[in-house]
Amino acid sequence: MDVKQIVNQMTLEEKAAMCSGADFWHTEKVERLGIPASMVSDGPHGLRKQPDESSGDHLGLNDAIEAVCFPAACATASSFDRELLHDMGVTLGKECQAEGVSVLLGPAVNIKRSPLCGRNFEYLSEDPYLAGELAASYINGVQSQNVGTSIKHFAANNQESERMSVSAEVDERTLREIYFPAFETAVKKAQPWTVMCSYNRLNGTYASEHKWLLTDVLRNDWGFEGYVMSDWGAVRDRVKGIIAGMDLEMPGSSGANDRAIIQAVQEGSLKEETLDLAVERILNIVYRYAENRQNEAFSREKDHQKAAEIARQCIVLLKNEAQVLPLVQDEKIALIGGFAEKPRYQGGGSSHINSHTVPCAVQLKDQYGNMTYAKGFTADGDQYEEDLEKEALEVAEQSDKIAVFAGLPDVFESESYDREHMRLPDCQNQLIEKLTKLGKPVIVVLHNGSPVEMPWVDNVQGIVEAYLGGEAVAEAVMDILYGEVNPSGRLAETFPRRLEDNPSYLNFPGMQKQVNYAEGIFVGYRYYDARKMDVLFPFGYGLSYTEFSYSNLKIDKSRITAKDTLMVSLDVTNTGSMEGKEIVQLYVSDKTQAAIRPVRELKNFTAVTLKPGETKTVSMELDYRAFAWYDTEQKDWYAAGGTYEICIGKSSRDIVMRTEVVLENEKEKLPKIDENVMIGDLMDCTKTADYVEERLMPYIGEFIGKTSMKEMDEMERSMVYYMPLSSLRSFTKLDNEGLGELVDELKNHMR
């Protein structure tokens, strides 16, 4: 389809209309030119298609078609499995084709800055590398079915409080290293058809009007080829948005913004070729879907089984004292808690699915073992009911082990508002504490979208983190509890002991419509590990019913350059008695001390399934970016020459193997030369170190009384090291003219 030719035939009014939604879920059509409407639908872990546009909404308030609810991102990220996310994406893409949906709105890759963010259940991780890799796999899966995705919310949308107006104040290094990479990786590895911009402002400018964000970074730096759409209702100044690179407004503005676009073109404040470009981007995607329609059958039963298969690989075993798990069929098990009868399996808001079928543990209990159910507490809130607690304690007294299905009720976390604390409902904590005093082993199964405090953690024997595992979560949990499946999930976020330990605690969610990201790059485990802070469970942590050993760590080069790729390999052996999947995590630690950096950062990972006694060799690659940090002075990624440690871990805290590699970087970080350059920076730079001794020492010697740096004591060297060049005027006969000559000489020396 020649899109440019079509745009040339469109009237100004048709072009303006094309940049707005026709209704809540459709782009505009132009019948006279044969331009079809195109439907988008909420995701990302299920199809929330609303058949009647008159009842359309973006908060999950109205009914959608019956669909299959897959595990939410908080769960799928715990799989650490690229293939699993790709497979899930393929299934969702097929469902979209069956239902005539051209773009699925997801994945959501905003970083989990605070455990209080009400939408954390829909976000992948606190780690940008993990989030980016899994998002790219998911996108490639969906788009393999000729259905688009809309990666969201770009950018720095890390809270629900005042999300439509708050300004996220973030320095560029932090943006480039923490809040951008998941989007960048997805664009470079998967090219999502669309990107959804966020509601909030970024450093004072609305994301929908942010030219640096949407054009300079997204398109020019990363090479994004699709169109940018707004979040629903995120547009403020429509003309500024078009100029910035925000193409499609959803769901439209009843024609008001169309008229603003037309007027701007007519008055000359908006170039028509800029509008044409936005229309071309939209039509390219409309026709990409229309020309690749597929006949697909949407089998809800089959996809439910797929959801169960995925959920089994997302569950994280957090504690298994004295091998209390797996359960044995002839054990008497007290099944306690309202979540066993009414599992919480998805979050609230725009990703809320009208689920096909939702089995519960109570319905399944007789298929697995000897279980007796008592509610104990409801799944709907925090209401203490004495009769329910009494019944639960009586049932527990008659059991061999106690399995408590606990979690966060729907009202505790949702889109549109943030959590106020990290606690489970008091009625749940109270009952769990009483159950631990019965002298029976207690296993707690958690249904939650983000970390919770666990005041009873030392008194229970087992903890199973099921997260929001989709409509088949109960089947997956029961398979884990009874050992039908070996747990393999790993935490994609840190569980702190207290809310107050979180690095964003003093700056979340901000005040007066501004939030300061004062913790910078030290988000999640980057902060906890740097502080050597005790946490409940670290990033990357998870247990198995079998044991794995690592050996034979190798790197293919001991020295690398900025152009090289480093191959890291090791052997993984299942030394236990049950087949299982291990997640091998590769972290890099910068030993050069050239910049303030985290202790270590995740830079690759792989999943490997092994039978008992089996050994496999796994390999992972590291490129220059894996060693680099973002230097705002150079406006580029930079890795200093020197030693880097390659760390193989079972979590960010459990590093089991190490080796070192030397990076030889010919691109030295050069100081900015002006009259305020620090003499120490000149001393550290290979291009100017000799200049300090030859040209500056005569001036330095005037007040130090030494003829070379080697003659100085530590105090004298430090004083000179931290002195700006301009300070020589205060202690020597150097005047402004002489200072200018030194600066010019240095600039010539650097060439």
- At residue 702, the pLDDT reads 85
CA distance 388 to 381: 14
| Residue 425, pLDDT above cutoff 80 | yes
Question: Is-contact 337 428, C-beta < 8 A?
Answer: yes
* Closest CA relative to residue 554, chosen from 658, 656, 650: 658
Residue given tokens 């079809």 in the structure block: 36
The more confidently predicted of residues 696 and 375 is: 375
Question: Is-contact 97 396, C-beta < 8 A?
Answer: no
CA distance 101 to 135: 20
CA distance 107 to 127: 15
Question: Is-contact 358 345, C-beta < 8 A?
Answer: yes
* Closest CA relative to residue 436, chosen from 455, 459, 414: 459
Band of pLDDT at residue 355, cut at 50, 70 and 90: very high
- At residue 581, the pLDDT reads 98
CA distance 110 to 170: 14
386-400 burial by CB neighbour count: b if 16+ within 10 A, else e? eebbebbbebbeebe
Q: Could you tell me which residues come within 8 angstroms of residue 294 by beta carbon, excluding any fewer than 6 positions away?
A: 94, 97, 145, 146
391-396: average pLDDT: 98
* Closest CA relative to residue 175, chosen from 155, 199, 200: 155
Which long-range CB contacts under 8 A does 744-749 form with residues at least 24 apart? 745/691, 745/695, 746/673, 746/677, 746/682, 746/688, 746/691, 747/673, 749/687, 749/688, 749/691
Per-residue model confidence as pLDDT tens digits over 598-631: 999 999 999 999 999 999 999 999 999 999 999 9
Question: Is-contact 655 691, C-beta < 8 A?
Answer: no
Give one DSSP letter per residue of 159-203, joined into a string: -STTTTT-EEE--HHHIIIIISHHHHHHHHHH--SEEEEPSSEET
Residue given tokens 């990290």 in the structure block: 422
Percent of the chain with pLDDT over 70: 99
| Residue 413, pLDDT above cutoff 80 | yes
Question: Is-contact 447 345, C-beta < 8 A?
Answer: yes
Per-residue model confidence as pLDDT tens digits over 221-254: 999 999 999 999 999 999 999 999 999 999 999 9
**216 three-class SS:** helix
- At residue 50, the pLDDT reads 85
Work out the angle between the directed axes of helices 300-312 and 473-481 (0-180°, nearest 10): 40
Residue given tokens 């969906």 in the structure block: 142
- Of 42, 231, 590, 681, the active-site residue reads 231
**40 three-class SS:** strand
Sign of dihedral through CA atoms 744, 745, 750, 751?
positive
Band of pLDDT at residue 704, cut at 50, 70 and 90: confident
Question: Is-contact 499 115, C-beta < 8 A?
Answer: yes
Q: Could you tell me which residues come within 8 angstroms of residue 730 by beta carbon, excluding any fewer than 6 positions away?
A: none
Q: Measured between alpha carbons, how far is residue 716 from residues 63, 703, 731, 746 in Å?
A: 74, 10, 14, 23
- At residue 122, the pLDDT reads 97
- At residue 502, the pLDDT reads 98
Band of pLDDT at residue 711, cut at 50, 70 and 90: confident
Q: Measured between alpha carbons, how far is residue 184 from residues 217, 452, 717 in Å?
A: 9, 30, 43
Residue given tokens 């090219």 in the structure block: 191
CA distance 370 to 691: 82
- Which residues are registered as beta bridge partners of 646? 588, 659
The token pair at 522 is: 């030290």
- At residue 422, the pLDDT reads 97
Per-residue model confidence as pLDDT tens digits over 322-348: 999 999 999 999 999 999 999 999 998
How far separated are the first and last CA of the chain, in Å rounded? 51
| Residue 52, pLDDT above cutoff 70 | no
348-383 burial by CB neighbour count: b if 16+ within 10 A, else e? bbbbbbbbbebbbbbebbeebbebebbbbbbbeebe
CA distance 476 to 310: 9
The token pair at 331 is: 């054990």
**262 three-class SS:** helix
Mean pLDDT, the chain, rounded, equals 95
Band of pLDDT at residue 428, cut at 50, 70 and 90: very high
Band of pLDDT at residue 351, cut at 50, 70 and 90: confident
CA dihedral of residues 655, 586, 493, 148 (deg, nearest 10): -170
- At residue 539, the pLDDT reads 98
| Residue 54, pLDDT above cutoff 70 | no
CA distance 359 to 370: 18
- At residue 61, the pLDDT reads 62
What backbone phi and psi angles, to 5 degrees, belong to 537?
Answer: -145, 130
713-737: average pLDDT: 90
Per-residue model confidence as pLDDT tens digits over 189-201: 999 999 999 999 9
- Which residues are registered as beta bridge partners of 442? 402
Per-residue model confidence as pLDDT tens digits over 11-51: 999 999 999 999 999 999 999 999 999 999 999 999 999 87
| Residue 655, pLDDT above cutoff 70 | yes
Q: What is the DSSP letter of 208?
A: G
Which residue blocks in 296-350 are alpha helix, DSSP H?
300-312
- At residue 241, the pLDDT reads 98
Answering whether pTM is above 0.85, one says: yes
CA distance 431 to 404: 9
**316-320 β-sheet, strand order:** 316-320, 462-465, 442-447, 401-407, 332-336, 370-374
Burial class (CB in 10 A: 0-12, 13-18, 19+), 145: buried
CA distance 160 to 117: 6
Burial class (CB in 10 A: 0-12, 13-18, 19+), 274: middle
Residue given tokens 């048709």 in the structure block: 14
- At residue 55, the pLDDT reads 61
- At residue 245, the pLDDT reads 98
CB atoms within 10 A of CB 303: 24
- Catalytic residue status for 684: no
Per-residue model confidence as pLDDT tens digits over 537-555: 999 999 999 999 999 999 9
